[in-house]
Chains A and B, each alone.
Chain A
Amino acid sequence: MMFNWLQKLGSRVLLRLSSLGAALVMLLQSLLVLPGPRGWQRLTQQLYVVGVQSFIIIFVSAGFIGMVLGLQGYTLLVDYGSEQAVGQMVALTLVRELAPVVAALLFAGRAGSALTAELGLMKATEQLASLEMFGVDPLHRIVAPRFIAGLISLPILVIIFNLVGVYGGHLVAVEWLGVHSGAYWGNMQAAVDFSDDVMNGLIKALVFATLVTWTALYQGYTCVPTSQGISEATTRTVVYSSLMILGFDFILTALMFGGL
């Protein structure tokens, strides 16, 4: 009984490790080649699909999250007469934590799931096999531009998230609740450090972008090419990405801000 349990655990761990290895090999094989003459064109196309098409969801979410932060911050701080500090609270919360994490979670749901489904469907409709038969490596042609597009898009989306969120907080705290505009911006400027806060947030964004895009592409590339297989792979992309984003966020926060 005990041995069976141990055996099962062992085989699961081995399976996970071997798929992690396979995912790493896939990534290296797709990236360790110089892009072809039309590489830029393919990258631009993917930047549009992965990045630009995720803009609306990021913009709207950032607006609402900034507004909620402004409102919550104001109600909390007004009791102590320090509602002027709401600007600094909104900005620090956004640039250090909420912008990279929420943008990455939305990115996993919007772009990650789409990438997995697209690759899975390409596999099911034999497009990947057909590329191979034309002597074109699908890892270079399909996987590489999508991965790089993800890596470029998410940090830019996080910058947009930061800007829109800060303006969302300004709308509620300053325009509606009457916090002094100069105090909102002034406290923010004094409290937010570019390299400690903004850059650390962007490093988080880059790590999350790698995790989400890599997971999405690996799941799509290796899925069972049936409707059920694609649906399971898409679900796995969103679940694994979300858990990794939250787990890695804690580790990165501890390293960057926790004094570890």
Chain B
Amino acid sequence: MSQTNLIEVRDLSFARAERLIFDKLNISIRRGRVTAIMGPSGCGKTTLLRLIGGQLQPAQGQVCVFDEDLSKLSRDRLTSLRSRMGVLFQSGALFTDLDVFENVAFPLREHSSLSEDELRDQVLLQLEAVGLRGARHLMPSELSGGMSRRVALARAIAMGPELILYDEPFAGQDPIAMAVLQRLIRALNDQMQLTSVLVSHDVAEACAIADEVILLGRGNLLAQGAPEELLNSNDPMVRQFMHGHADGAIPFHFPAPDLMTELRTESGRNQARSSGVVEAVELN
């Protein structure tokens, strides 16, 4: 692996319930940068993030992180490798039986031998970084979606990781929370000299902070490059996704036989009649 690449995925194949999600995928993610993995829903973005986190095993191929092939690591080695990674799950994944302070303190209590005073200072500093020091006594159920994600971010950076994986950080957020998260992701990456990988389908938000974009589709890499390059790409599929066109290279319709043929066959008629489609077509 080259010195500049922190993650390398080689000839990765992965299937879920007989559906092939990746077919010989090759990508590399560079150290110290914010890389956005984008693609339509269901193209395997979150699956790729889980493969990078070692939570899923590839059917074929390799996922190398920090120069180590994850599928060859023992459980202990994987655990120690994971302590160099932080993950921000889509739902925040805060522990619902612990308050905000204890959630952020969790990885420190597990993996460090800090005294109670040092631990308190450390947690307060992390919460300050995400602007939620005042919310440390709240329970996860009392937080808004945006706040939950910020607490989860504070927890993810508590151990000073070298790599942070963000799973759909902007999904379902209001514009203010989105802007806050964007600012935090970029600022943390630059100040802590991290490598950030974010999975998203919010093109504008992800492009605004990403140094590099990886576009996935149809089980493989569609394009990789700087956000501007992809936004100006002439490839029809890349253009459709980056500019959000409803129809194009990626069709609007799920594959199906011709509508009129289907409506005129007996079984098709029966099915369609119950929904009133045939009458509507015949009237026209």
Contacts and interface: CB of A to CB of B under 8 A. Distances in A.
A125 B93 contact: yes
Interface stretch (B64-72, B103-111, B171-179, B211-219): B103-111
Contacts of B96: 122, 125, 127
Interface in B83-105: 83, 85, 87, 89-91, 93-96
Nearest to B88: A130
Given A126-B89, A126-B91, A127-B96, A133 B80 contact: no
Nearest to A122: B96
Interface string A83-127: 000000000000000000000000000000000000000100111
A44 to B, nearest CB: 14
A155 to B, nearest CB: 26
A136 B110 contact: yes
B82 A135 contact: yes
Contacts of B93: 125-127, 129-130
A21 B24 CA distance: 33
Contacts of B94: 127
Contacts of B53: 133
B89 A134 contact: no
A90 B83 CA distance: 59
Given A125-B96, A132-B82, A134-B107, 15 more contacts: A125-B91, A127-B93, A127-B94, A127-B95, A129-B89, A130-B87, A130-B95, A132-B55, A133-B55, A133-B82, A133-B85, A134-B106, A134-B110, A135-B80, A135-B111
**Tier of interface size on chain A:** 10 to 19
Contacts of A129: 50, 55, 89, 93
Interface in B47-68: 50, 53, 55
Contacts of A133: 53, 55, 82, 85, 87
B270 interface: no
Contacts of B83: 135
- Which 6 A-B residue pairings sit nearest by Cβ, starting from the closest? A130-B93, A126-B93, A135-B79, A126-B89, A133-B87, A134-B107
Interface of B: 50, 53, 55, 79-80, 82-83, 85, 87, 89-91, 93-96, 106-107, 110-111
Q: Is the interface of A mostly helix, strand, loop or mixed?
A: helix
A141 B53 CA distance: 20
Contact of B90 (A122, A126, A132): A126
Interface in A116-160: 122, 125-127, 129-130, 132-136
A215 to B, nearest CB: 23
B84 to A, nearest CB: 11
A130 B90 CA distance: 11
Nearest to A38: B109
User: Which residue, A126, A130, A136, has most C-beta atoms of chain B within 10 A?
Assistant: A130
B82 to A, nearest CB: 5
Nearest to B107: A134
A131 B245 CA distance: 39
27 contacts: A122-B96, A125-B93, A125-B96, A126-B89, A126-B90, A126-B93, A127-B96, A129-B50, A129-B89, A129-B93, A130-B87, A130-B89, A130-B93, A130-B95, A132-B82, A133-B53, A133-B55, A133-B87, A134-B82, A134-B106, A134-B107, A134-B110, A134-B111, A135-B79, A135-B82, A135-B110, A135-B111
A227 to B, nearest CB: 14
Nearest to A127: B93
Nearest to A131: B95
Contacts of B90: 126
Nearest to A125: B91
Nearest to B103: A130
A127 B140 CA distance: 12
Contacts of B95: 127, 130
Nearest to A130: B93
Nearest to B81: A135
A127 B80 CA distance: 19
Nearest to A129: B55
A130 B87 CA distance: 8
A126 B55 CA distance: 12
Interface in A49-72: none
A133 B49 CA distance: 12
